[in-house]
Amino acid sequence: MKTYKIALLPGDGIGRDVTAAAKAVLEKVAARNGFSFAVSSYPWSCDYYLEHGSMMPANGIETLRSFDAILLGAVGWPRKVPDSVSLHGLLLPIRKAFVQYANIRPHRLLPGVQGPLRSENFDILCIRENTEGEYSGAGGRVHQGTDSEVAVETSVFTRKGVERILRFGFEQARARRGKLASVTKSNAQKYSMVFWDEITQRLSAEYSDVEVTSYHIDAMAARMVMAPDSLDVVVASNLFGDILTDLGAAIQGGLGFAASANINPNRSAPSMFEPVHGSAPDIAHLGIANPIAAIWSGAMMLEHLGETAAAGKVMAAIEATTARGIGSIPGKDKTDAITSSVLSALD
C-alpha cells in the first residue's frame, strides 16, 4: 500500500482546528482508496517562538524536505509576535526554500454558497508568483529612529522567475478553458512590469492555442467584481496575486472557502497546501472556524500527489455538504458539524 509522508504544521489560532478537520477527511478518503498517510505534526508557531526564540528550529527546512507534502493551517498571532517576524520565520521561508513558485488559488462558488455578486457562474484560477517580486525581502532601513529615516524595499523580478510562473499559467489555461489573464501595472511601473508584459508577449507565440490578455491590476480588481465569468486563469506577481486572491475569496463567499496550494512544479522539494485565511485570533478555539478551505486545500494535495480519484471524492463530499446548507453560511455551523458532514458524505 502506498504511504505518503505528510508534515502537518497546524501553526496558530484556527489553523489548529481546520488542519485537524482536513486530516480526518484525508485519512478517511485514503483508507477508502487504498493508500495511507504517515503524518508527522510539528508545533512550530508563535507559541513555539515564545518558548524557543524562533518560529521553527534551525534544521526546520531540512526536516520538512523529506516529506511528500506539507499541510499548513495558519501562521501569525500579532499580539504575541509581530507578523513581520512570524511570517518571515516560517511561512515565507518555506515557500522560498522549496521553490514553491506557483501559488494556486481557485475561486468559484460552492453549491449552496451565496456570494456577494449577481454573477454566480465564475470559475477563476488565480496563479500567484510565490518566491520573488514584491516579497523578495531586498531592502533595509537607514538612520533608524531619526527624522532622516529611510526605508527601501525593492521588488526583484528575474527572467527565470517571471518566465516560469507565466509558463505555468499558460499550461493551466491550456488545460482549462484556454484563457489567460496576465496582470501587471506596466503603465506606472516601467521596469519590472514592462518586463513581465514583454515576457508574456514573447511566450504567447509558443502557446498559440491560449488566448492571452494583459490587464492592469486596478482594472482586474474591477473585472473580478463586475465580470468574473469573463475570466479563466489569472496570473500575477506575488503582492498583486496576494491582493487579488483575497478579492477572489470575497466573491466566493468568504475566506472560509478559499483554498490554496504552494506548488513546486518540478517536484524538487515538497509542495505545501494551506487555506488562504489566517489564524483568525478573534474566533480561535471557539470551534466555529469553517474547515472547508482547509479540506479543499487537502483535496488539492491529493491531486498533486496523483490521487485524482480521492481528490474528486473529497470535492464531491464538500459540495454535498454545502449543497445541504451545512457550512455554506459563514458563522452558522460549528467546525465539528461541518467536518462530520463532509466525513459522512464520503460514505
* 16, 187, 206, 340 from 303: Cα distances, Å: 23, 38, 27, 22
Q: How many residues bind ligand IPM (CB under 6 A)?
A: 5
Do 254 and 263 meet the contact criterion of CB atoms below 8 Å apart? no
242 binds ligand IPM (CB under 6 A): yes
Q: At closest approach, how far in Å is the CB of 246 from ligand IPM?
A: 7
- The conformational region for residue 328 under phi > 0 = left, psi -120 to 50 = alpha, else beta, is alpha
Comparing CB distances to ligand IPM, the nearer of 18 and 276 is 276
Chain residue at closest Cβ approach to ligand IPM: 87
> Residues interacting with Mn ion, by CB under 5 A?
242
Comparing CB distances to ligand IPM, the nearer of 75 and 345 is 75
Binding mask 257-276 for ligand IPM (x = CB under 6 A): -------------------x
Q: At closest approach, how far in Å is the CB of 270 from ligand IPM?
A: 17
- One-letter amino acid identity for 117? L
Residue 115 DSSP class: P
Comparing CB distances to ligand IPM, the nearer of 14 and 91 is 91
87 binds ligand IPM (CB under 6 A): yes
Comparing CB distances to ligand IPM, the nearer of 37 and 135 is 135
Contacts with 41 (C-beta within 8 Å, 6 or more apart), sequence order: 7, 8, 9, 10
Residue 209 CA to residue 105 CA, distance in Å, equals 23
Chain residue at closest Cβ approach to Mn ion: 242
Q: At closest approach, how far in Å is the CB of 310 from ligand IPM?
A: 25
Going through 211-329 in order, the beta strands assigned E by DSSP cover 211-216, 233-236, 259-263, 271-275
Interface positions with ligand IPM (CB under 6 A): 87, 91, 242, 276, 278
